């Protein structure tokens, strides 16, 4: 006759209840821990990403340049006013666009990213419009007024080069930063995944 094996008793105070994955997840969430727990590489990557996002200073540098250029544009436009309403609207829209870009750089969210991108794109478009108008004026002066018109056209071309430097370089570099992985990551935008090369 087979002898009955004695049943093991659990230590005093220990519960016989089986710990299921659902109960473990509930316990982890109640304790403020993530479930399922991250692996070591994932945790290190998330920590490094958060550190890079905190230490990014380029948005503040671009915002400072934006507000400085907005003040410069406003001073120049007040010192050299124009009588034509259309020209005044185009010129003063540069101030509004660069202020929008600077405010978006300080607004650390998806809407801030959109505002900064919109401001930079508008400023680039306005710079292109001004440059086209200057080139048309230069060609008109050179074709109608002869040698004196060619001298005036040369001055207009120099003004066009100045427009590129003053109105085009800053939004171009700023827009490039906003569209990079670092810029998207800073503003919480989804970062495109690079496909592995075959």
Separation between Cα atoms, residue 73 and residue 193, nearest integer Å:
39
Q: pTM for this one?
A: 0.64
Q: Name the H helices within 32-179.
A: 40-55, 58-79, 85-106, 110-144, 146-163, 169-179
Q: Contact, 141 vs 153, CB < 8 A?
A: yes
Q: Over the stretch 79-124, which tens digit does the pLDDT of each residue have?
A: 877 777 887 888 889 999 999 999 999 988 899 999 999 999 999 9
Separation between Cα atoms, residue 20 and residue 41, nearest integer Å:
26
Q: Over the stretch 120-143, which tens digit does the pLDDT of each residue have?
A: 999 999 999 888 888 888 888 888
Q: Over the stretch 140-171, which tens digit does the pLDDT of each residue have?
A: 888 888 778 888 888 888 888 888 888 889 99
Q: How far is CA 143 from CA 63, 103, 161, in A?
A: 43, 44, 21
Query: What would the DSSP string read from start to end of 10-50?
Result: PPTT-------HHHHHHHHHHTT--SSPPPHHHHHHHHHHH
């Amino acid at each position: 006759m087979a002898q009955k094996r004695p049943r093991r008793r659990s230590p005093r105070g220990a519960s016989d209840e089986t710990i299921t994955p659902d109960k473990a997840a509930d316990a982890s969430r109640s304790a403020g821990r993530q479930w399922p727990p991250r692996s070591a590489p994932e945790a290190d990557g998330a920590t490094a990403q958060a550190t890079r996002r905190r230490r990014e200073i380029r948005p503040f540098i671009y915002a400072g340049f934006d507000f400085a250029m907005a003040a410069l544009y406003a001073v120049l436009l007040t010192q050299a006013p124009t009588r034509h309403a259309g020209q005044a609207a185009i010129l003063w829209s540069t101030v509004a666009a660069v202020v929008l870009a600077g405010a978006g750089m300080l607004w650390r969210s998806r809407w801030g990213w959109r505002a900064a991108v919109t401001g930079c794109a508008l400023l680039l478009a306005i710079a292109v419009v001004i440059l086209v108008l200057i080139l048309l004026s230069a060609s008109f002066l050179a074709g109608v007024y002869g040698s004196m018109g060619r001298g005036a056209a040369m001055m207009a071309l120099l003004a066009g080069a100045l427009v590129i430097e003053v109105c085009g370089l800053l939004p171009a570099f700023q827009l490039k930063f906003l569209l990079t992985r670092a810029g998207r990551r800073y503003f919480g935008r989804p970062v495109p995944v690079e496909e592995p090369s075959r």
